[in-house]
A and B are shown apart, each in its own frame.
Chain A
Amino acid sequence: MSSSNFPKEKFRWGMLLSDTRYRGTSLQVITFIIFVAVFFWLVDNTLKNLALMGKDVSFNFLGMRAGYDINQRLISYTNDSTHARAALVGILNTLVVAFFGCVIATIVGVLAGILRLSKNWIVAKLMSIYIEGFRNIPVLLWIVMIFALFTEFTPAPKAFKGDDPQASMLLFDSVAITNRGTYLPIPIMGEGAYWLLICLSLSIISAFYFVRYSRKVKKDTGKGFPTFWISICIIAIPCIIAFFVFGKPISFGYPYLKGFNFKDGLHLRNSLLALTLALAFYTSAFIAEIVRSGILAISKGQTEAASALGLRPNKIMNLIILPQALRVIVPPMISQYLNLTKNSSLAIAVGYMDVRGTLGGITLNQTGRELESMLLLMGFYLSVSLLISSVINYFNRSFQIVGR
């Protein structure tokens, strides 16, 4: 009798649930059937509801005339433009808030995170108050509060009028903060400005190559150049020369008071400023905590070992602590950027026209295309988020500690 003669087990239906060999598969089949059933139920309901309301699913509305105005826009847009154009204006507005919000949040957050670890008691406590205050109060409240700060506590443009004005412009009469928004000088491109831009980009590229070269020299010989200062010179000197050679092609248009309002200059509306700053400060509190925990995660032994090797404190920070801390800091920081971008949809609270305000707001209400608008809106946010998570994944893959 050979050992291959196992007793033949008879298959029973009960084994589908009780036998671990089959249970996984049968569970999956059941789940899949339920999932498909629910999906079709939802689709069926939607079709029935649409039929009842006499609607259909069509994206033709995107090509129709929008008929509403958007006061803050980056690209040309009138109320004769299409809904698709309005959505694009909204998307750009969202991205503007997201970009500047992320930049400010990173700067403030990193500073606050480092200062919270400061040995200076009063600074550390102040930063704790800042961080805990922003973290524990809803961002919506911060947005409306900062908006109120801008609209209620800044002077009206007419306060700048007269020989003895109640309010004055800042920074040599170039910046005016009013309750209708902030006016900044705007760069005006004259003839030859493009040559200047080309010159600038060329010198940045050459500075980039110089940095690579100096790193290589440093690696090979151990001796380097003062890289930072030389690359500053490489960027600045040709640009300054070109600026005068081409006859000062870039000038600034300063805002000035005319009638009851400021003319010229770059007009930043209060809604944009309040939204950006509120989101930036709110997110900076989270970034500060990420930075702090990232620095604390590097064990003290690393610092001590580095100083035992004779490295100076700034070298220890740059070569030992930061590269390790960044590995901990960067992924959650990027997901905070994602949160900021998603939170920018609260723009509606201050009347800033982001993509939710145009596509998911006025367009939706005017055309009555709830389903299509929401699908497009969610598609936009989803693609942004997938893009950002793929960046995180790429970072994690390329910077993870190589196991021994």
Chain B
Amino acid sequence: MTKIAYVREKGIPPSPPPLTEVGIIRWVRQNLFSSWFNGILTLFSLYFIILILADFIPWAWGGHWQTKSLRECLDLDPNVACFSVLTARWKQLLFGLYPAEEYWRPTLTFILLLLSIVPILVPKYLKFFWFSAIYPGLAIWLLWGGSFWSVAIVYIGLIFGFATYVILSSKFLKTTSMALSASIVLTVLFYLFFSSLLVRFLSFLLPINLPFVDSLQLGGFTLSIVVGVSGIVASFPIGILLALGRQSNLPVIKMICVGFIEFIRGVPLITLLFVASVLLNYFLPPGTNFDIVLRVVIMVTLFSAAYMAEVIRGGLAGLPLGQHEASASLGLTYWQSQRLVIMPQALKISIPGIVNTFIGLFKDTTLVSIISLRDPVGLASTIRADSKWNGIYWELYIAIGLMFFVFCFGMSQYSQYLERKLKTDN
């Protein structure tokens, strides 16, 4: 029997990892100084950040908020920001030339906008979708004023059309298309001949009026949001139709859609806005002159609809042909298969592109300043033209830029969230 002098019964306790391999030091080593090149990059970046912050923080932190003019700011301390221009003019930046006693109207419109988005964004509240549906009319009435009934009549007409369709299709006419065409004709007749009479009657019965506000008084972020949101809402369905038209195997429809999309995408938005402000009077019957904001909205809508169509076409092209064939073999009609099979998948693929188009549209609303509407960028030059604030730049630009950044960045973050949520593959 051999004698064992020593047998270790317990293992050596693991020694703690070297100091350079734990915690913050490890993180710094791995993420900042993993090689000599990365080290130089890190030092360079740090130097750059410090350089900028050393200038920016004292400038912004000590900024004046309560002076009456830029002159006073400069007299107090010329090296810090003069945010007083925001204190003095924030109302203009938000509402433009909207009458001051009516500021509650754009504010309420904006709050209702947030509420009306909720049912679309959060599936749980989808049952409140009716509010999102009536919101556009409500917003138009709140912002422009006038009689409540002149806006409500649009909805009344739609309800009338739907009711006639239901009655006709169940009682009198057998085919759907017949009932549909008949109810469309009846609705058009309703709008043409009966609506003004009804508006007058209802206004007489129950007058609900808001003071009228002219379009040229709209401005600031109110204008950006009005143009942006109406463009977004309207361009989405038009974009889908254009994309379907471009994919269609009916040559005439395809040609019209391709021509429209390529034309719109080929010219800068600013020329289109120019057409809206200068040239549209040539194309309409002599004497017609309709609202400039409406014209701008139409042009912006058409512009982004063309881009939207291309994005959705990309999504459609990304779907395997089998999806079309499978839905056709199930006996679905063209529109049924589009609605139930193709579009849900194609739209899901194209979410990033769609949201990018929305963001682009919202940023492009600043171009209306070039046809002398008073959006924030246009207002910035108006404010600078005032002798009190002549020579102020960064305070205004930073404020405007921040507002746009919040909206656009928010949208892009939401789209990334949506993408992750809808992702079904592994």
Interface residues of chain A, those whose CB is within 8 Å of chain B, are 14, 17-18, 24, 27-28, 31-32, 35, 42, 45-46, 48-50, 52, 118-123, 126, 132-133, 135-141, 144-145, 148, 152, 342-343, 345-346, 348-349, 356, 360, 370-371, 374, 377-378, 381-382, 384-386, 389
Contacts and interface: CB of A to CB of B under 8 A. Distances in A.
B245 to A, nearest CB: 9
Contacts of A120: 31-32, 34, 38, 41-42, 45
Residue among A17, A133, A342 with most chain B CB within 10 A: A342
B370 A123 contact: no
A342 B401 CA distance: 22
Contacts of B397: 141, 144-145, 148
Contact of A136 (B252, B256, B369, B408): B408
A45 B282 contact: yes
Contacts of B284: 45
Contacts of B266: 378, 381-382, 384-386
Contacts of A119: 30-31, 34, 38
Contacts of B162: none
Given A122-B45, A346-B270, A374-B275, A24 B405 contact: no
B49 A126 contact: yes
Given A120-B38, A360-B271, A381-B266, A45 B409 contact: no
B274 A360 contact: yes
Contacts of A132: 409, 412
B387 interface: no
Nearest to A147: B393
A27 B268 contact: no
Contacts of B391: 152
Contact of A126 (B45, B269, B279, B401): B45
B110 interface: no
- Give the top 10 A-B pairs by smallest Cβ distance, nearest first: A385-B266, A136-B408, A121-B31, A342-B268, A138-B363, A28-B252, A382-B266, A345-B268, A138-B366, A148-B393
Interface of B: 30-32, 34, 38, 41-42, 45-46, 48-49, 175, 177-178, 249-253, 256, 262-263, 265-271, 274-275, 278-279, 281-286, 359, 363-364, 366-367, 369-370, 377, 380, 391, 393-394, 397, 400-401, 404-405, 408-409, 412
Given A121-B32, A141-B366, A382-B263, A374 B253 contact: no
B393 A370 contact: no
8 contacts: A28-B250, A122-B32, A132-B409, A136-B404, A137-B363, A140-B366, A148-B393, A374-B279
A191 to B, nearest CB: 45
- Looking at chain B's contact residues, is the secondary structure mostly helix, strand, loop, or mixed? helix
Residue among A49, A50, A133, A377 with most chain B CB within 10 A: A49
Contacts of A31: 252-253, 256
Contacts of A346: 270, 367, 370
Contacts of B178: 14
A120 B41 CA distance: 8
A138 to B, nearest CB: 4
A136 B271 contact: no
Given A31-B253, A121-B31, A371 B401 contact: no
A394 to B, nearest CB: 17
B286 A52 contact: yes
Nearest to B263: A382
A377 B363 contact: no
Given A28-B250, A120-B31, A374-B279, A385 B370 contact: no
A199 to B, nearest CB: 39
B42 A136 contact: no
Contacts of A378: 266-267, 271
Contacts of A133: 405
Contacts of B34: 119-120
B10 to A, nearest CB: 41
A360 to B, nearest CB: 7
Given A381-B266, A385-B265, A139 B31 contact: no
A356 B377 contact: no
A356 B371 CA distance: 13
Contact of B283 (A42, A122, A384): A42
Given A17-B177, A360-B274, A381-B268, A348 B45 contact: no
A123 to B, nearest CB: 5
Given A24-B250, A119-B31, A356-B270, A138 B41 contact: no
A286 to B, nearest CB: 9
A113 to B, nearest CB: 16
A343 to B, nearest CB: 7
Contacts of B175: 14, 18
A47 to B, nearest CB: 9
A148 B274 CA distance: 25
Nearest to A48: B286
Nearest to A27: B250
B32 A345 contact: no
A382 B274 CA distance: 16
A370 B278 contact: yes
B283 A46 contact: yes
A75 B41 CA distance: 44
Contacts of A140: 366-367, 369-370, 377
A370 B279 contact: yes
A25 to B, nearest CB: 8
